[in-house]
Structure 1
Amino acid sequence: MQDAMSREESFYRTPSGKVCVGLLGERMRWFWPELKNLAVLGLGGATPYLHAIGDETTLRIGACFARSQADTSFLPGRCCVADPASLPFEPQKFDRIVLVHTLQGRENPVSLLRAAARVLKDDGRLLMVVPSRLGGRARLRRTPFARDMAFTRPKLRQVLAAAMLRAEQWDEAVFLPVSQACRTIRRGRQMDIAGKVLCPGGGSLILVEAVPDMYSALPLSVQRKKGWLSRMGMSTAGTAATSRSGKAL
């Protein structure tokens, strides 16, 4: 087990891992094409992906949750190990937050998402990359994604809403096993384009962009819809009351 974990942690140093970063980096740039003079936080294992977005004016900081993820070769001097429930940053510090490999073995992701929302600006945006529950992890073996918590889109909406975040844009990637999809960036790009046309919703990875929404977690009062039998009973009672009042007159 320990050998498997060490192989997964070194995934981003392999040719397949570098192609994976390139493919997902393209999708991240589709969400955020312009990050000039903005502050970006990468949570969990997002550090390798921070080089794929922004430019030399972008402030990029990585916050890992385990020392095995704290690879400072990707961000020299700008990577720290942090408590996922209490991030060491002041409120509303970042314009963008990327979450990759943040939900490994966590039963309740809401506390982590709320901690991320606390350091996100009011007009900021958050991007999550998670495996799809529809067979996603089976195609992501020997990668760190295989240990991540898997979701469906409705479940992601529910979790984000509980953290006072609202899902706005969606995307998906890696429609084939990593060993085939991540041979070259060109091949992976072609496979993803074909997958979105031929099998929409069948990607191994779900990408969702969310924005702060303080009202998303507030329950709305919903009036129970009465059945036709109840409505008929009320109508009969009303007719009887009207006839009694007419006789009294």
Structure 2
Amino acid sequence: MWTDVLDLNDFYRSTLGQMTTRLLRARLREVWPNVRGESVLGLGYATPFLRPFAEEAARTIAFMPAPQGVTRWPREGRNRTALVDEMDLPLADRSIDRVVLVHAVECTERVRPMLREIWRVMADGGRLLVVTPTRAGLWSQIDRSPFYQGHPYSAGQLAGLLRANMFAPMQQTRALFMPPTHSRLALRMAPTVERFGRRWLGRFAGVCVIEAGKQLYAGIAERSQTAEQAVARPKLRIASSRDTQAARNSGDGEAPAS
């Protein structure tokens, strides 16, 4: 189920949300240290994490699904967000180099069609970065953040989902080892807890981050199979009363061939 955009706004404006943004931004930036000259798309609610990419990418846009709602981003300058159907993105084939999915995969009820649509708009050699809550982490079990909503994934489940939809997982990391708390002391200690967690508490992270590449051969094979099925499918004709009358007139009791 999609989280309402107003609730997402409220969370990321809170102290906990701001710390979440800093920790996750750092992790995403480690995976993608340079996007200069490329086009970047954020889908779901990715705007808190797009600013570092927007400062160097050739184009950065954010799409928000209709059930979630949309809000303006950035606050200054021209708006770069749009309300969309995640199954029918208003983009040309192979027009986006990088896609960031946050609060998307775990929320949509049609994850496979959404991933196939992302595959369509992604350029050959493009990269996908997916952030989802983990099953073992506290963030998917405590109702204090948007990562409590939707369907959490283990790293293996998420990698399998991507492979099944024509993406090849390339690298993965984890983030948000601190509990989702509003305690000022805990928030001040969050960077230290994050460093400790990355080294010793990997499976208890709040979110999993996976980078995947577009599989070209999978798409070619799928399109070829679809074409073959279309050729092999026989053309059917529904018999009508006119056919029956013609058969009676011919005297052989059979309907004329189509």
Is 1:79 aligned to residue 81 of structure 2?
Answer: yes
CA separation of 1:81 and 1:10: change in aligned 2, threshold 3 A: same
Cα distance in 2 for partners of 1:184, 1:54 equals 31
Q: What is the 5 A alignment of 1:149-164?
A: 149-164=151-166
2:53 corresponds in structure 1 to: 53
1:169 corresponds in structure 2 to: 171
Q: Is the 8 A contact 2:134 2:140 kept in 1?
A: no
1:39 corresponds in structure 2 to: 39
CA separation of 1:162 and 1:51: change in aligned 2, threshold 3 A: same
Number of residue equivalences: 217
CA separation of 1:137 and 1:215: change in aligned 2, threshold 3 A: farther
State the TM-score, normalized to the length of structure 1.
0.77
* 1:51-77, Cα deviation, whole Å (9 max, x unpaired): 133424541100000375422143642
CA separation of 1:35 and 1:182: change in aligned 2, threshold 3 A: farther
Query: Could you tell me which amino acid in structure 2 is paired with residue 38 of structure 1?
Result: E
RMSD of aligned alpha carbons: 2.8
Unaligned regions of 5+ residues in structure 2, if any?
A: 223-258
Query: Could you tell me which amino acid in structure 1 is paired with residue 30 of structure 2?
Result: W
1:66 corresponds in structure 2 to: 66
CA separation of 1:202 and 1:180: change in aligned 2, threshold 3 A: farther
2:215 corresponds in structure 1 to: 213
Q: What is the 5 A alignment of 1:1-249?
A: 6-66=6-66, 69-74=69-74, 76-138=78-140, 141-179=143-181, 187-215=189-217
Q: Is the 8 A contact 2:73 2:81 kept in 1?
A: no
* 1:17-47, Cα deviation, whole Å (9 max, x unpaired): 1221111111111011111121100001112
Cα distance in 1 for partners of 2:89, 2:199 equals 40
My pick for the range that moved more, 124-133 or 11-20, is 11-20
Other structure's SS at 2:52 match:
coil
Other structure's SS at 1:21 match:
helix
Unaligned regions of 5+ residues in structure 1, if any?
A: 220-249
Query: Could you tell me which amino acid in structure 2 is paired with residue 212 of structure 1?
Result: K
Shift of 1:15: 2.0
Shift of 1:187: 3.2
Shift of 1:186: 6.6
Shift of 1:11: 0.6
CA separation of 1:215 and 1:186: change in aligned 2, threshold 3 A: farther
Query: Could you tell me which amino acid in structure 2 is paired with residue 126 of structure 1?
Result: L
My pick for the range that moved more, 140-149 or 22-31, is 140-149
CA separation of 1:148 and 1:181: change in aligned 2, threshold 3 A: farther
My pick for the range that moved more, 146-155 or 50-59, is 50-59
CA separation of 1:140 and 1:166: change in aligned 2, threshold 3 A: farther
Shift of 1:7: 4.1
State the TM-score, normalized to the length of structure 2.
0.74
Shift of 1:139: 5.3
